[in-house]
Structure 1
């Protein structure tokens, strides 16, 4: 990790630069796959599954027999853990429901807003070095609460053409019955255009590597919405001398083990604390099965010291972390002052892992600085707000003259006439 002390503001951009490739670096590959899937459908999907995942499949669709076997192979202990997480996620997202908003803006002019579900959604679930079955809960549960009619799930197969049992079990538990063994760019392309076996969807959700992130962004050029540009995972911890170095190190490593392109940042107003955390990381990392991955991610980490908390907070807001942990004596200063973060975790006993799995909040969050303008996934992500209005005779007489004047001022005679005809009939 790199330690930086009291950096000047003009140095922040370089200090906080993410270890990711630019879109230009990989867009050519993504575009090539997209074009071929659009033209050749399932044949192209199978070609790229063989090329990228190293396996040839007769069918992309997961069979009912595979789902049955998955249910039998998942331990009862894990099933109970998944059930607990699902219950908490359901509770939190059900609480986000809102009623119809109705108002009479002028006497005789009634306007209201209602939310309706997006009919067809696609879920992308990473399944490579870490099979993220927890992401299914984060996406399928609110989709069900919202009332989405069709849910398509794509996840990459392993070298034997199989999908991790926990992924299949969790998908079935959440009522997802269209599960395909397709990963990476070709999965996003298939859900964007539709193939002989995979339905075209209206919106795509789910995290992934940099290729998946660019593929999702490319999908938006083809009338498909996405949840957000969600790329490699990242975490920023702000801590002072009151924090436990072992806890902070464990949180940093929990994100570092996601992938070699993950990034973790520690900001502190206690200089000696940086050394304490460094020692803890060096000790704890030796015990991790994914030590090699975590080690490479730690190389991209930044430990930043500031003499005062105001500068620390300014740098944090400039970074806009996906995950933000606050463990300081003056936690309210950071909690009230943070404006750019995907999800915030407060105190010694709130590890980021809790949000990843079972506390109830959603873990599909904006990365790469997009927390400055994007929200994390929530119930509204699966819905559209529609407005309605009904105007009575009294109402059109009250607002009609204003409409006529405004339409005429904009040079839109037909707009004016649509009102004038009605007002004439009411005289």
Structure 2
């Protein structure tokens, strides 16, 4: 039987003080004393497995030693040399499966050195107290177009500008930052950090950002290749995968990325409507961020539904546990198959799944989750990029981001072979910039 209709999403379910608490900084920064104590735990391993685990290969033992010696700004310069978005990565990297997961203390004691928080301590110290740590080389006369002001685009633009090339970033959104500005949970990057970091990166000089410039609309690859000496694509994944269910045209169903973006740009969280009973479909970081924030806005129940077993989720175990601690119910091996409701969503019909030698299949067992709001977080896709070779919905690259089209490089989420992490996007943007620079100065 159909479930009882719900009242639908409403704004202001929680008072301002509760919202402030729910969206406070997930990992408050270390004090100078706390940082020194944390740094003292590092063994400064000669083989440094933490460095190998970092996609940008930051010299972690070196920067921690500088913090230990009371020189956080010097530590920050070491970090920024490898990763100009080191401040953001310190906040959003899944350190539990990267550097901290590889830490010798994690293996020996189950308690790694707090590398992420130490990195944040260093980078925040320099950004707050000193000017930009790098100077721009003499102008080369070369011009490079960067499409997309996300992590890959910003990293690429900064490295190219540092070498003296003139960079024009074509960005469709009103603000730079890409995923960092529009797609990450608000409690991970408080105090408008994404915008402040982007502005700080631009202080190198030689970078112009043009907003309202979407690839395929205001700008085309042909025009960019004709006008510039090189083009870097850091366009992310703007499309959202569909969820195949019965009765899909019903009010109350939204994309998780749109919800997260609206929340990140809201001046007052109390104005954002959220359902009483919310269902989030997906198993990645977007699904977790959406579910935790829906609960933080005041949803009474939030259920995250993932089609496979827990160990197959894209989100790390730490993020899964965080969601559970924040009151999100995690439901595995289930998939929505139909939506209930007369015009407005009232329930989500799910089917139990089983995975065997022949892959994932439905068992035929169905159940209904009461819901007046559902969010889809089942993956994103690359919008059509004509002329470029793609593989499984991403741009094919070789070497340091080179595409098979002359003068065009790509990196970040839009490029094949990545793992959809901010830090990986930064590494790909940086490495593409090095390759572009080498090509332009041959």
TM-score, length of structure 2 as denominator length: 0.28
More helix by share: 1
TM-score by length of 1: 0.29
